[in-house]
Chain A
Amino acid sequence: AQSVTQLDSQVPVFEEAPVELRCNYSSSVSVYLFWYVQYPNQGLQLLLKYLSGSTLVESINGFEAEFNKSQTSFHLRKPSVHISDTAEYFCAVRILSGAQKLVFGQGTRLTINP
């Protein structure tokens, strides 16, 4: 079975500061990795994903995540956050073949202070 741990339930940062949201996973088989974001009063949206190839993946709004197989991590980073990044962020995994269900972490609520 797979499991995902997001180490921080809440992360408060100041606007324009850097941020890192941590995600570690456990799986006996290879997985795909995802970060989803839920803005206030909206549904979940895919932020970025790692399927294969380069271990560094980027989103269109400046977030990036790096797949580290040895540390089984997929931390999310942004060098300078904006008020509009206020949201809850979810890390998720899916095994490569067979069951297609996503296994989610507990979520990290990112709060940006002016």
Chain B
Amino acid sequence: EAGVTQFPSHSVIEKGQTVTLRCDPISGHDNLYWYRRVMGKEIKFLLHFVKESKQDESGMPNNRFLAERTGGTYSTLKVQPAELEDSGVYFCASSPGQGGNEQYFGPGTRLTVT
């Protein structure tokens, strides 16, 4: 069974440009999460999808970030326009259901905004 995959693995863009990160969860997992780690600080929650619906988007930093999960399969996270403080590693995770189920993480996308 394939794990959570993320694309690209690295992205370097200039301030003001747009970047779109993609996450493919484990097949059959209804829950999909986005997290971010900035500059060696703690990993912080961004948002949670249940199928195609946003269940919790309390961690989204501002309206420059837009997450979608059309059809309840893969998800995209767009940053437009990117700012220097958006640099960091963006992790995606998925889980199959309710309870204390493990969240399975992808390898992350390292975003550098110059």
Instruction: Give the B-binding residues of A (Cβ under 8 A).
Output: 4, 32, 34, 36, 42-46, 49, 51, 90, 92, 94, 96, 99-107
Within the assembled complex, what's the spacing in Å between the Cα atoms of A34 and B101? 11
State whether A104 and B42 are in contact (beta carbons under 8 Å apart), knowing that A36-B105, A43-B106, A46-B102 are contacts in the complex.
Answer: yes
Most buried by B among A42, A43, A51: A43
B16 to chain A, nearest CB (A): 29
- Asked if A104 contacts B43 (CB within 8 A), the reply is yes
Smallest Cβ-Cβ distance to B45: which chain A residue: A101
- Asked if A105 contacts B107 (CB within 8 A), the reply is no
Return chain B residues, CB-CB under 8 Å to A101: 33, 45, 48, 56, 58-59
A110 to chain B, nearest CB (A): 15
> Contact mask B67-99 → A, CB, 8 Å, 1/0?
000000000000000000000000101010001
- Asked if A102 contacts B108 (CB within 8 A), the reply is no
A24 to chain B, nearest CB (A): 14
Count how many chain B residues have C-beta atoms less than 8 Å from C-beta atoms of the other chain: 27
- Asked if A43 contacts B108 (CB within 8 A), the reply is yes
Instruction: Give the A-binding residues of B (Cβ under 8 A).
Output: 4, 31, 33, 35, 40-45, 48, 55-56, 58-59, 91, 93, 95, 99-100, 102-108
A1 to chain B, nearest CB (A): 10
Return chain B residues, CB-CB under 8 Å to A105: 42
22 A-B interface contacts by CB (under 8 A): A32-B100, A34-B102, A43-B108, A44-B93, A46-B102, A46-B103, A90-B43, A100-B48, A100-B55, A100-B95, A101-B33, A101-B45, A101-B56, A101-B58, A102-B35, A102-B45, A102-B103, A104-B43, A105-B42, A106-B41, A107-B42, A107-B43
Return chain B residues, CB-CB under 8 Å to A94: 100
B108 to chain A, nearest CB (A): 6
Within the assembled complex, what's the spacing in Å between the Cα atoms of A94 and B41? 19
Within the assembled complex, what's the spacing in Å between the Cα atoms of A103 and B33? 12
Return chain B residues, CB-CB under 8 Å to A104: 35, 42-44
Return chain A residues, CB-CB under 8 Å to B43: 44, 90, 92, 102, 104, 107
- Asked if A45 contacts B105 (CB within 8 A), the reply is yes
- Asked if A51 contacts B48 (CB within 8 A), the reply is no
